[in-house]
Amino acid sequence: MMLAVLLGLLGAAMGSFAALLAERLVRGEGFVRGRSRCRSCGTALGAAELVPLLSFPLLSGRCRHCQAPIPPVLWQAEIVGMLMGVAAGALAWDPWRGLLMAGWMWSLLALAVADLRWFRLPLPLLALNAALGFGMAMAGDGLGWPLPGDRLTIALAGAAAGGGAFWLIRVAYAWLAGRQGMGLGDVLLMAALGLALGIPRLPMVVLLAALSALAVAVLRALVKGRSLRRLGRVPFGAALALAAALVAVFVPY
């Protein structure tokens, strides 16, 4: 219980950092140095404006200096990051596995934010997620499954199955439609998810992602009064990332 509380508190801050990391990587900016600033007026933000979970509602979702709206996804990322930390802490067999799982889910959150806002899956975030997912697979669940000798095989088979299946879909669609319908980032993301989750859980990830992405696209079209035949671009990478986090929490090996 204590681990879940600690990772939940850390998760709120990490959710904010995940959103910041996604934005700066997409824009090609450094993220190690440099204070956070309002994108509208350029004013450096103080500590009181960067308190996870609290600053957004206290500021009514607007910059204190210029009153420009703050993207709600930043606050939502803090909430989701907190929930991810709580889930990882509650499920983990020990603190090390809990932190590893939480870090993996926070990297998925950063990828989801990048795809939702800019339809991009930055390569550094994909590499980070793959590394954390591989570490999570090698650590196992602490209950003897998967067996130590099988972990590498399971991880590599999952990466090959996930990435290979999506690469074939990407090539087949491009050949049949004469245009690209899936980004290479989605292929790399599925390979990374296969590393962490193994083959048995990948179909559930894809099904959940497809249903949620379709539902969001249809609702968006209805709200904007557009025809359902023209749903527009769908951030499927974000759907995959969040579906993978849910499957990791609720679907055992």
Tell me the per-residue pLDDT of 214-228, one tens digit each, with 9 for 90 and over: 887 777 766 666 655
User: By CB neighbour count within 10 A (0-12 exposed, 13-18 middle, 19+ buried), where does 52 fall?
Assistant: buried
How many Cβ atoms are within 10 Å of 178's Cβ, its own excluded?
7
Q: Which residues contact 180 (CB under 8 A, 6 or more apart)?
A: 170, 173, 174
Q: Indicate the DSSP class of residue 41.
A: T
Q: 77: which 2 tokens?
A: 């990322």
Q: Are 166 and 193 in contact (CB under 8 A)?
A: no
pLDDT of residue 31: 63
Q: Are 53 and 63 in contact (CB under 8 A)?
A: no
User: By CB neighbour count within 10 A (0-12 exposed, 13-18 middle, 19+ buried), where does 43 fall?
Assistant: middle
Residue 181 pLDDT class (50, 70, 90 cuts): confident
Q: Is the pTM of this model over 0.85?
A: yes
Residue 62 pLDDT class (50, 70, 90 cuts): confident
Name the most confidently modeled range: 59-73, 103-117, 140-154: 103-117
Q: Give the residue-averaged pLDDT of 94-110.
A: 95
More confident: 8 or 174: 8
Q: Are 60 and 69 in contact (CB under 8 A)?
A: no
Query: String of b and e for 57-88 (b: at least 16 CB within 10 Å)?
Result: eebeeebbeeeeebeebbbbbbebbbbbbbbb
Kindly give the interhelix angle for 95-118 and 236-250, rounded to the nearest 10 degrees. Answer: 160
Q: Indicate the DSSP class of residue 70.
A: P
More confident: 225 or 80: 80
Query: String of b and e for 220-244 (b: at least 16 CB within 10 Å)?
Result: ebeeeeeeeeeeeebbbbbbbbbbb
Residue 34 pLDDT class (50, 70, 90 cuts): low
Radius of gyration, CA atoms only, the chain: 19
Mean pLDDT of the chain: 88
